[in-house]
Amino acid sequence: MKTIKQGFLLLLFLSVFWILLTSLDRQELIAGAVIVVLLTVVFWRNSGIFGEINFTFKSIGYGIAYIFVFIWALIRSNLDVAFRVLNPKLPINPGIVKVKTKLNSKTGRLILANSITLTPGTLTVETKGDYFYIHWIDVSTQDMDLASHEIVSKFEKYLEVIFG
């Protein structure tokens, strides 16, 4: 059930996002206010992608933290792949592993699959319900629980709060 508080948080989130992307020029702030109000009304009336997001202070905080967690994972995986390319002695043991997610939201699963794919060294090949099939550059385990912990858990704990 959508509440007034969630609508206000959506409006606040979009406003802060607009201000971070633009300057504090009067015309840009007026245009931003109009756009933010229109987006809030549109996304509030229709579920859309924002329909599955839990707009609370906690979920907004986790969303901001998720950006930093994703960037850190992106940097680490880029360096890992670069070192494997530059040093042929480093192991490359490619394979496909099956991992399980706890996410119930379709949008949360979509963002998880894309986050895994965007980090070099992993590629989401297929999703079936709670299971993802991931191509991994260096398969360290075939155990589903260990592979899930290694690949999925760093993103999942944030997405679970954001999308429920």
Closest residue by Cα to residue 140 from 148, 129, 131: 148
**What 8-state DSSP symbol labels residue 77?**
H
- The whole-number pLDDT of residue 56 equals 76
The tens digit of pLDDT for each residue in 24-57 reads 888 888 888 898 888 877 766 655 555 566 667 7
Quote the CA–CA distance of 47 and 52 in Å, as a whole number: 7
Report pTM: 0.71
The residue type found at 74 is L
The tens digit of pLDDT for each residue in 126-147 reads 999 889 999 988 888 888 888 8
Which residues lie closer than 8 Å to 122 by C-beta, 6 or more apart?
77, 116, 134, 135, 136, 137, 151
Which residues lie closer than 8 Å to 70 by C-beta, 6 or more apart?
115, 118, 119, 155
Helices within the chain (DSSP H only): 4-21, 26-45, 57-86, 106-118, 144-151, 153-163
Structure-token match 């931003």, residue found: 32
Quote the CA–CA distance of 91 and 138 in Å, as a whole number: 7
Distances (CA, A) of 100 to 7, 86, 125: 33, 32, 14
- The whole-number pLDDT of residue 40 equals 77
Give the domain ranges of the chain: 4-46, 57-163
- The whole-number pLDDT of residue 1 equals 45
The tens digit of pLDDT for each residue in 76-121 reads 999 988 888 898 887 788 889 999 999 888 888 988 999 999 888 8
The residue type found at 48 is G
Cα–Cα–Cα angle for 142, 143, 147, rounded to 5 degrees: 85
